[in-house]
Amino acid sequence: MLSARTRRATAAGTTALTALLTAGLTALPAHAATGTLTAQAMSSLALPTDGQSTDLEVFVGEQGTSSGTTITVTADLDALAGVAEFGDPQSGCTTQGHLMTCTQGVGPTTVSLRTMPFKAAPGAKLGASGVLHGTVTAADGATKTFDSTLMVGGSKLQLAHTSDQNDVKPGSTVTKGFTITNSGQLATQQTVLVVNPSVGLQFQQHFANCEYGTVDTSNSMEGIVPTMAICTIDSGIAPGETAHVDPMTFGVSSSALYEFAGVQVFPGRQNLDLAQATQHYTFVQGSGPRLTLGKPESGAPSGAPVADLSRNAFDQFYVKAQNTADFVALGGWKPQAGGKEGTLEVGLRNDGPASVWMQSGDSAADVQVALPVGVTVAKAPAACLVQNVADSGGVTVYSCGTGPQQVTGAKLVFDFTLRVDDPTAVRTAKVTFRDDNTPASLTSSATLKFDPNPANNAADVALGLQPASPSPRASTAPAAAASPATATTPTPATPAPAKAAGATQDLAFTGGGSDSGTIAAAGAGVIVLGAGALLYANRRRKAAAHH
């Protein structure tokens, strides 16, 4: 199990970041002989009026190569004369006359971020702009170009925090309004609102100027937040003005528990990479009334687009539902070689009715297994790590990471290949749950605050000559998948859970309410909004299961 500090860092999006909707980034792929060159550049950049530098971001990489490579970014600064100049050079960036050159080492499959500092030229007028034309060149000769508009000054949009709500009943609705303030120097011409609710919150109405996206399960990133609304309001916000977006209503589904919605605001559609979004979402245009800022719209924008000094404004509100989830500990044993070796499968099933998403990035509950003396591990799953337990008496304890998301009906299993010194002796593996607040132990199981039925949070698995038998407790069928509360927009497609790596369908599993069947896993990634982009964060450690 990762430490709480490591998990929270992961939840903040520090691993496996992939830009989805980035403020002003445009994807520019090119096919090369040894790989695919990618370059994504901000389409517009606001320069502070106080002479401070700000970074122009370019994501560069060459994917599909067998080894790392070097990428060079060059640009002619003449087009920015009187508007902007190169800021304090970073390592890897140099200027010679009017030519700027930056080099970037990249790995074979990762996309690295190159930042290039610029600042407003002395005496530049507010609103002055110029276009920087850049070229990205890979070591194998592949090239791509990009254009970025640099403007002196900009808007600075800020979203007031929307209050959280607790003890909300499943099947009810919550209504939220959003307040935006422009504390920059330039007025915006449009207001674009992007809303990403978690799986337990559903849009309850359509607005004619909103596009509603649902996950395309045939071409989507695993665990992606299933719905998105992109609302384009043809009204700007003047410097110093505070605007109020019309309220939005969300239905609280029967599976809701720890829910959230991320909200971002941009000064125009040019700040969004809609082509990237459509690779993962299928959008339909809304109908009905238009979403407004509480005043008549002023019409489509004209003139140069305004960039935002804060890159984007972001807020996230939380909804805690009056709901519970029943986590069941699973275990099964399939002996081989006369019981001297075999496969131990341990796991977790969520019998609902709630789906559990831990917004901290912590696992809702990791699976812990204590192996008795006389049993050794020949092969352990990658997601399962040995734990240090004081005075273990020779008992070996493993903890298997499950990730922060366990949807209703999901099952997750981990395969251990074991060797048993004496199959005729009494040998029992103990399966329990563990969370970040519970240290590894020999037998005790964590108390899950969302689970009112702790009786099935542990299972004993006999490692004998015969396969483990199902628990004598009555079987309980997993709860049905959640349905939105009278939603008027299309219900998002929930990615079908895939069988976990190493899962078998013919093992009998012990544990409360257990059944014999495929052990499946739901993805554990979520959309993390903020820091200038909608970022996908794969929060899982080494995959315990695959989509």
pLDDT values of the chain reduced to their tens digit, one per residue, 547 residues:
333 333 333 333 222 222 344 444 444 444 334 567 878 888 889 999 998 999 888 888 776 666 677 888 899 999 999 999 988 766 678 888 889 898 888 776 667 777 888 999 999 999 999 999 999 988 888 888 999 999 999 999 999 999 999 999 999 999 999 999 999 999 998 999 999 999 899 999 899 999 999 886 554 444 567 789 999 999 999 999 999 999 999 999 999 999 999 999 999 887 777 777 787 888 999 998 999 999 888 877 776 778 889 877 899 999 999 999 999 999 999 999 888 999 999 999 999 999 998 877 888 899 999 999 999 999 999 999 999 887 778 899 999 999 888 989 989 999 999 999 998 888 899 999 988 777 777 777 888 999 999 999 999 999 988 886 433 322 233 333 333 333 333 333 333 333 333 333 334 444 443 322 222 222 222 233 332 233 322 222 222 222 2
- β-bridge pairing 428-434 and 459-462: antiparallel
Chain position carrying tokens 């690295």? 112
pLDDT of res. 64? 64
* SS3 category, 230: strand
Residue 204 near residue 482 (C-beta atoms within 8 A)? no
- Give the torsion through C-alpha atoms of 59, 63, 65, 69, to 10 deg: 0
DSSP 418-467: EEES-TTS--EEEEEEE-TTS---SS-----TT-S-GGGS-EEEE-SSSP
Report residue 493: phi and psi, to 5°.
-75, 130
pLDDT of res. 93? 84
Report residue 34: phi and psi, to 5°.
-105, -5
Residue 229 near residue 195 (C-beta atoms within 8 A)? yes
Choose among 7, 137, 117: nearest CA to 60.
137
Distance CA 356, CA 406 (A): 5
Residue 361 near residue 539 (C-beta atoms within 8 A)? yes
* SS3 category, 5: helix
Beta bridge partners of 137: 72, 143
Distance CA 518, CA 520 (A): 6
* CB-count exposure of residue 105 (10 Å: 0-12, 13-18, 19+): exposed
pLDDT of res. 34? 55
CA separation (Å) from 381 to 143, 275, 464? 42, 37, 22
- Give the torsion through C-alpha atoms of 463, 467, 468, 469, to 10 deg: -150
- β-bridge pairing 54-63 and 69-76: unpaired
Helices (H) and strands (E) in the chain, counts: 2, 39
Mention every residue, 6+ apart, whose C-beta is less than 8 A from residue 198. 225, 259, 260, 261, 357, 526
Distance CA 333, CA 2 (A): 27
pTM of the predicted model as reported, rounded to 2 decimal places: 0.74
Residue 20 near residue 280 (C-beta atoms within 8 A)? yes
* CB-count exposure of residue 141 (10 Å: 0-12, 13-18, 19+): exposed
Choose among 230, 215, 224: nearest CA to 286.
230
Chain position carrying tokens 């599909």? 64
Mention every residue, 6+ apart, whose C-beta is less than 8 A from residue 147. 41, 43, 131, 132, 133, 134
Residue 214 near residue 490 (C-beta atoms within 8 A)? yes
